Chains A and B, each alone.
Chain A
Amino acid sequence: FQGVSLFIANPFERLWFLGEEVVQSVWQPAGAVPAIPYDGQGLNPLLRHPGMIGHPPTLYLGFVGFVIPYAFAIAALVTGRGGEDTWIRTTRRWTLVAWLFLSIGLILGGRWAYDVLGWGGYWGWDPVENASFMPWLTGTAFLHSVMIQERRGMLKVWNMILIILTYSLVLFGTFITRSGVISSVHSFARSAIGPAFFAFISLTFLASLFLLFDRLKTLKSDNELDSLLSREAVFLLQNLLFLGITFATFWGTIFPMVSELVTGEKITVGPPFYNKVNGPLFAALVLTMGVAPLLAWRRQSATRLGRALWLPFVLAAAITSGLFLTGVRPVGALLGYWLVAFVGLTTLGEFGKGIKARMRHGENPAVALVYLLLRNRRRYGGYGVHLGVVMIALGVVGTNFFQQETQGLLRPGESLHLGGYTLTYETLRQYALEGGDRQVTEAQVSLYRDGKLLRHLRPHKDFFLSSGQPLSIPAVFSRPGEDVYVLLVAWEEVGPEGATFKVYLNPLVNWIWGGGLALIAGTLFAAWPGREAAPSWAAVRRPARSGAGVFG
């Protein structure tokens, strides 16, 4: 920071009038007068949304929060104590909090895109979006993988790699967002610090890896893998999947740059690529999420696993068949629904098993649930987060496979039809807001279903005189099952011939926001300090010579 401030771009510089010119300097130059610009253009209109109050700070907190586990990890490596899990236990809550804020930032960003960008979606696989998503991916893998080190003293090298990757991706994410090296709709600012930043990232990443390989001997596992069918093995699979998704996303993000460097041709890597590549990987990951809680540590017998799995499997298959019978046809959607049902049921099953166990002691189900949650915050908070992920997955399947849209020019009184809904154009209003700067063209439309009036909606097109920026704000009718999303199309003129409307039907999209809330609640619950024993710092060690085990 000092280096950058002194030599490249100083954030503390102010503007001064020196004679006729405007100069930039931290301290007042001789004979200069402070230059106070006239009123600026105000916040970029695209950013005037409640989500934008939270999105930058939470993302930033998430990014910066990961410095703490990283710093402890490097310290553990340097002091040769990387093999102990002290650094993990100490930073567990910090990791959770950083992860929580990063998740909130991502969800708020998606919500903003949905409300304001006017294309009916919430995630565009834009380079800047990917830049904040990649540390989340490796951070989630890290969050889970450290459990293995705590319980079994394994995967120590993995955990180091994951936290080094997470931190490096945080730096890389900041680099992409601020330097403009990869073009993006999110580039709201440009800066000269690009090359210095790139050097910083490379240095950090390479130095960390070097340290890791130098201290590899201190990271020997305490235990071996007993069986391929065990929780440890499935966590390894989870790590592989997370890294696979991260790599695919990373490669897709930098490929336009690479392609331009190598062939001179600029290629666009958009949603079709990510859907095809990351889609199956995420599905596999969700499946892993459902099965892992059922796998015991060290060794899981296949028959007992089968006994635990068959009921959710069959129920999910029944639900999926039911959906097929009501007309759902795309194979990917059916698989997605089955997955959501299966994983939802296995996760809820964990709650059920716990409640049943407590009921053996005479508690009624409600009391059992409360005590179960309070006594096992970490575990059931985690399962709560998994349920949130399942809800988000449901929303993603719905919007990905079944989004419908239509567009048309309507004269007053004419209607558009989409998926059982009828949208009738009524009238148009034009007025100005914000002292004349914001010119609003507002259409009133009526939404009907089966002849019944549901709501009057008011999508509007705004034009900001000071910045010359147009904005198209949709009117949304929300139900748990779907959103009807109405736009006054930005590029078409509105006049006596009529107005052009675009209507999206977004099935199940509100499950994404609901799932996000569940995810946040679950994480808070898992991280909340309870009446736990203070972590003990001394590892329990018995002399290695007691070859006779407990059973002799």
Chain B
Amino acid sequence: MKLWLVLLGLLLALTWLAGAVSAQSPVSDDQVNAIAKKLYCPVCENTPLDVCPTQACKDWRALIRQQLSQGWTEAQILDYFAANYGPGVLAQPPARGFTSLVWLLPVLGLAGGGLILWRLLRGWQARRLPPAAGVAEARLGPAGVSPELLDRIEREIEARF
């Protein structure tokens, strides 16, 4: 009889303990969404995981919730999904292998464009041809006015206004 009571007490204590442990770390929706934001739905087109209403996405979010309650870190969860479903589920393309090109090319393109521009501008400055006489004069007034005179004119105009 006493053994029974002891066992029952133990069982109840264990149950309460288990409940307490899981109640200590309930995973909030916000925590799930924070990670879901970084993933994309595998089924729908271009829909982030925290917004998608399909059953597949619900299952994935439930999986994330479970992983979070088991103490997985964000990096671990993202790696898990990328490993199992392909890197296409990540919102930010990883900078590895061929995919690194997606990051590299814009940077290279901009740098390349800037370089071309710089060389062009340098070339223009070096040559310093006089403007085509006639048309330019009709449009812009005299060439060959010294920079100091120009500056003085502009300063006087500014002083008035």
The 3 closest A-B pairs by CB, nearest first: A407-B29, A272-B92, A248-B106
**A259 and B136 in contact (CB under 8 A), knowing A119-B48, A551-B145?**
no
Per the bound structure, the CA–CA distance linking A540 and B11 in Å amounts to 102
By the criterion CB–CB under 8 Å, are B147 and A546 in contact? no
> Within 8 Å of chain A (Cβ to Cβ): is B17?
no
> Within 8 Å of chain A (Cβ to Cβ): is B76?
no
Instruction: Write out the residue numbers on chain A whose beta carbons fall within 8 Å of the beta carbon of B125.
Output: 225, 227-228
Instruction: Write out the residue numbers on chain A whose beta carbons fall within 8 Å of the beta carbon of B47.
Output: 185
By the criterion CB–CB under 8 Å, are A184 and B131 in contact? no
**A301 and B154 in contact (CB under 8 A), knowing A126-B46, A233-B121?**
yes
Instruction: Write out the residue numbers on chain A whose beta carbons fall within 8 Å of the beta carbon of B107.
Output: 277
By the criterion CB–CB under 8 Å, are B46 and A259 in contact? no
Question: Which residue on A lies nearest to B52, using beta carbons?
Answer: A491
Per the bound structure, the CA–CA distance linking A272 and B128 in Å amounts to 45
Instruction: Write out the residue numbers on chain B whose beta carbons fall within 8 Å of the beta carbon of A262.
Output: 98
19 residue pairs of the A-B complex, CB under 8 angstroms, read: A126-B46, A151-B139, A153-B136, A183-B45, A184-B46, A185-B44, A187-B45, A222-B132, A223-B136, A251-B106, A255-B101, A263-B98, A270-B40, A270-B91, A298-B140, A353-B161, A360-B160, A360-B161, A500-B29
Instruction: Write out the residue numbers on chain A whose beta carbons fall within 8 Å of the beta carbon of B51.
Output: 117-119
Instruction: Write out the residue numbers on chain A whose beta carbons fall within 8 Å of the beta carbon of B103.
Output: 273, 277
- Smallest distance from the beta carbon of B82 to chain A beta carbons, Å? 11
- Smallest distance from the beta carbon of B73 to chain A beta carbons, Å? 19
By the criterion CB–CB under 8 Å, are A405 and B30 in contact? yes
Question: Which residue on B lies nearest to A118, using beta carbons?
Answer: B51
By the criterion CB–CB under 8 Å, are B29 and A259 in contact? no
Which one of B102, B127, B154 lies within 8 Å of A267 (CB-CB)?
A: B102
By the criterion CB–CB under 8 Å, are B93 and A269 in contact? yes
- Smallest distance from the beta carbon of B53 to chain A beta carbons, Å? 4
Interface of B is mostly: helix
For A113-133 the 0/1 string (1 means CB < 8 A from B) is 000011100001011000000
By the criterion CB–CB under 8 Å, are A544 and B133 in contact? yes
Per the bound structure, the CA–CA distance linking A152 and B135 in Å amounts to 10
**A265 and B87 in contact (CB under 8 A), knowing A224-B127, A236-B117, A356-B161?**
yes
> Within 8 Å of chain B (Cβ to Cβ): is A311?
no
Q: For residues 102 through 154 of chain B, which have their beta carbon under 8 Å from a beta carbon of chain A?
A: 102-103, 105-107, 109-110, 113-114, 117, 121, 124-125, 127-129, 131-145, 147, 150-151, 154
For A175-206 the 0/1 string (1 means CB < 8 A from B) is 00000000111010000000000000000000
Instruction: Write out the residue numbers on chain A whose beta carbons fall within 8 Å of the beta carbon of B44.
Output: 185
Instruction: Write out the residue numbers on chain B whose beta carbons fall within 8 Å of the beta carbon of A252.
Output: 102, 106
For A499-536 the 0/1 string (1 means CB < 8 A from B) is 01010000000000000000000000000000000000
By the criterion CB–CB under 8 Å, are B102 and A550 in contact? no
By the criterion CB–CB under 8 Å, are B109 and A127 in contact? no
Q: For residues 69 through 110 of chain B, which have their beta carbon under 8 Å from a beta carbon of chain A?
A: 86-93, 97-99, 101-103, 105-107, 109-110
> Within 8 Å of chain B (Cβ to Cβ): is A543?
yes
Which one of A183, A255, A273, A304 lies within 8 Å of B46 (CB-CB)?
A: A183
Per the bound structure, the CA–CA distance linking A190 and B29 in Å amounts to 36
Question: Which residue on A lies nearest to B113, using beta carbons?
Answer: A240
For B23-56 the 0/1 string (1 means CB < 8 A from A) is 0000011100100001010001111101111100
> Within 8 Å of chain B (Cβ to Cβ): is A419?
no
Question: Which residue on B lies nearest to A358, using beta carbons?
Answer: B161
Question: Which residue on B lies nearest to A275, using beta carbons?
Answer: B92
Instruction: Write out the residue numbers on chain B whose beta carbons fall within 8 Å of the beta carbon of A119.
Output: 48, 50-51
Interface of B toward A, CB cutoff 8 Å? 28-30, 33, 38, 40, 44-48, 50-54, 57-58, 86-93, 97-99, 101-103, 105-107, 109-110, 113-114, 117, 121, 124-125, 127-129, 131-145, 147, 150-151, 154-155, 158, 160-161
- Smallest distance from the beta carbon of B141 to chain A beta carbons, Å? 7
By the criterion CB–CB under 8 Å, are B142 and A542 in contact? no
Instruction: Write out the residue numbers on chain B whose beta carbons fall within 8 Å of the beta carbon of A233.
Output: 121
Q: For residues 155 through 190 of chain A, which have their beta carbon under 8 Å from a beta carbon of chain B?
A: 183-185, 187
By the criterion CB–CB under 8 Å, are A248 and B109 in contact? yes
- Smallest distance from the beta carbon of B78 to chain A beta carbons, Å? 12
Instruction: Write out the residue numbers on chain B whose beta carbons fall within 8 Å of the beta carbon of A283.
Output: none
By the criterion CB–CB under 8 Å, are A267 and B30 in contact? no
Which one of A224, A269, A304 lies within 8 Å of B154 (CB-CB)?
A: A304
Question: Which residue on A lies nearest to B143, using beta carbons?
Answer: A549
Per the bound structure, the CA–CA distance linking A301 and B157 in Å amounts to 14
For A236-250 the 0/1 string (1 means CB < 8 A from B) is 110010011001100
Which one of B48, B117, B121, B143 lies within 8 Å of A270 (CB-CB)?
A: B48
Per the bound structure, the CA–CA distance linking A185 and B53 in Å amounts to 13
**A228 and B121 in contact (CB under 8 A), knowing A222-B136, A262-B98?**
yes
By the criterion CB–CB under 8 Å, are B135 and A541 in contact? yes
By the criterion CB–CB under 8 Å, are A408 and B93 in contact? no
Instruction: Write out the residue numbers on chain A whose beta carbons fall within 8 Å of the beta carbon of B117.
Output: 236-237, 240
Q: Could you list 6 further interchain pairs (A-B, Cβ under 8 angstroms) beyond the known A240-B113, A251-B105?
A: A118-B51, A119-B50, A124-B46, A153-B136, A222-B135, A273-B93
Instruction: Write out the residue numbers on chain A whose beta carbons fall within 8 Å of the beta carbon of B86.
Output: 265-266
> Within 8 Å of chain B (Cβ to Cβ): is A271?
yes
By the criterion CB–CB under 8 Å, are B45 and A223 in contact? no
> Within 8 Å of chain B (Cβ to Cβ): is A36?
no
Which one of A236, A268, A546 lies within 8 Å of B40 (CB-CB)?
A: A268
For A250-290 the 0/1 string (1 means CB < 8 A from B) is 01100110010011011111111100010001000000000
Central interface residue in B58, B90, B106, B139, by most chain A CB within 10 Å: B106
By the criterion CB–CB under 8 Å, are B134 and A541 in contact? yes
By the criterion CB–CB under 8 Å, are A406 and B30 in contact? yes
